[in-house]
């Protein structure tokens, strides 16, 4: 089974290595040289020959993600999309390609957990997703380092957030709803960002996704005079600095409440965000290579079969990611 992976950044390189270790014939395409156990191809991924690929994993930055996906889709490929571009894949016409998109931690695993609740309870009264990757301890500066493309982080902070209120989709400014939360014993802050994407279509009375940061971070961003390139430098990822990823998905329905908590602190030199995002991607690719999940169409993660969702959860747990559920 031949897999073409486009983009070998922090998350992409992790996905490539794990797919290679799973015994697949993996080829990485990137515009910058990468150290990888896969077969490496330097250059523009769209100019490459992908006719031999059984699957393509699109992990380029969000700014070019949809352009790349559109071209691959038009060529009829089976694609797992992790680019998180502002233009979502459901804007593509039907066929000839087949797409499974947004298969990270959030969106991605968060969608799958909400789908499990929706399949059990039907209409959901309230859905709240809180998620963030942050340094283990705050500092006197940004208390943050970007675990994926910093420009995509800036997009999170500036893009208006689509949420559900009183059963209808509404749009609020990015960073709205700022409040203090308890993140497994840590006092942190959460604010609305545009992370629901396809989940906005699930029947619910109230739903929102919040990005989680150390107190003071987002206020510093709101007051900064730094341009995006300067912010990229300020948020440079330091692999030697301890960090963690934490997510809480809380669902209320029919008088019941269900809460999933996901946490990881990195392992063997891999960041927690690379692991929690990349392991979901890897599990989805492996499931698709082993089962004919989708023959056509454009599919968000909440459309995955229940047994596949449980296999994704089990894959993360087997790799040391903490996933717990309480009622």
Residue 63 pLDDT = 86
* b/e per residue 143-174 (b: at least 16 CB within 10 A): bbbbbbbbebbbbbbeeebbbbeeeeeeeeeb
Gap between the Cα atoms of 327 and 22, Å rounded:
35
* Topology of the domain covering 109-270: Dihydrodipicolinate Reductase; domain 2 (3.30.360)
What phi and psi, each to the nearest 5 degrees, are found at residue 240? -85, -10
Gap between the Cα atoms of 54 and 56, Å rounded:
7
Gap between the Cα atoms of 240 and 47, Å rounded:
36
Give the distance, in angstroms, between the CA of residue 86 and the centroid of all CA atoms in the same chain. 13
pTM over 0.85: yes
> Is residue 164 within 8 Å of 171, Cβ to Cβ?
no
Region 63-75: mean pLDDT is 94
Length of the chain: 327
Region 286-300: mean pLDDT is 94
| Domain coordinates in residue numbering, the chain | 2-101, 109-270
Gap between the Cα atoms of 162 and 164, Å rounded:
7
Q: 155 falls in which pLDDT band (50, 70, 90)?
A: confident
Residue 94 pLDDT = 83
Residue 253 pLDDT = 96
Reported as half-sphere exposure (CB side, CA atoms, 13 A), residue 295 has a value of 0
> Is residue 281 within 8 Å of 103, Cβ to Cβ?
yes
Q: Which CATH class is domain 2-101?
A: alpha beta
Mean pLDDT (the chain, rounded): 95
Q: 148 falls in which pLDDT band (50, 70, 90)?
A: confident
Torsion of CA 285, 287, 293, 296, to 10 degrees: 10
Percent of the chain with pLDDT over 90: 90
Q: 149 falls in which pLDDT band (50, 70, 90)?
A: confident
Angle between helices 150-158 and 62-74 (to 10 degrees): 100
Reported as half-sphere exposure (CB side, CA atoms, 13 A), residue 68 has a value of 29
H helices of the chain, in order, are: 10-21, 62-74, 109-121, 150-158, 217-223, 228-234, 272-290, 306-318
Q: 147 falls in which pLDDT band (50, 70, 90)?
A: confident
Reported as half-sphere exposure (CB side, CA atoms, 13 A), residue 1 has a value of 17
Q: 233 falls in which pLDDT band (50, 70, 90)?
A: very high
Residue 150 pLDDT = 77
CB atoms within 10 A of CB 222: 10
Region 298-316: mean pLDDT is 97
Closest CA to 153 of 93, 212, 66: 212
């Amino acid at each position: 089974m031949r897999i073409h992976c486009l983009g070998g950044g922090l998350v992409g390189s992790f996905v490539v290595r794990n797919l290679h270790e799973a015994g697949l014939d993996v080829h990485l395409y990137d515009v910058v040289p990468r150290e990888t156990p896969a077969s490496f191809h330097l250059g523009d991924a769209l100019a490459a020959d992908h006719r031999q690929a059984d699957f393509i994993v699109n992990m380029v930055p969000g700014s070019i993600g949809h352009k790349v996906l559109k071209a691959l889709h038009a060529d009829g490929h089976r694609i797992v999309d992790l680019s998180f571009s502002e233009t979502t894949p459901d804007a593509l016409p039907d066929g000839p390609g087949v797409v499974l998109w947004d298969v990270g931690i959030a969106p991605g695993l968060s969608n799958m957990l909400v789908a499990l609740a929706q399949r059990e309870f039907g209409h959901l009264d309230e859905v709240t997703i809180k998620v963030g990757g942050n340094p283990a301890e705050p500092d006197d500066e940004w208390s943050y380092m970007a675990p994926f493309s910093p420009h995509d982080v800036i997009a999170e902070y500036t893009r208006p957030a689509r949420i559900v209120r009183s059963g209808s989709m509404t749009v609020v400014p990015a960073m709205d709803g700022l409040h203090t939360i308890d993140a497994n014993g840590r006092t942190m802050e959460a604010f609305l960002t545009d992370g629901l994407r396809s989940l906005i279509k699930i029947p619910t009375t109230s739903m929102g996704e919040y990005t989680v940061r150390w107190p003071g971070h987002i206020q510093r961003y709101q007051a900064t005079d730094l341009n995006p390139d300067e912010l990229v430098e300020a948020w440079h990822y330091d692999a030697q600095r301890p960090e963690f990823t934490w997510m809480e998905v809380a669902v209320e329905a029919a008088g019941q409440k269900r809460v999933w908590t996901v946490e990881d602190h990195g392992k063997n030199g891999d960041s927690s965000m690379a692991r929690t995002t990349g392991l979901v991607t890897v599990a989805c690719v492996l499931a698709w290579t082993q089962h004919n999940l989708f023959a056509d169409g454009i599919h968000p993660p909440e459309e995955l079969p229940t047994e596949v969702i449980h296999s994704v959860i089990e894959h993360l747990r087997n790799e040391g990611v903490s996933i717990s559920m309480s009622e």
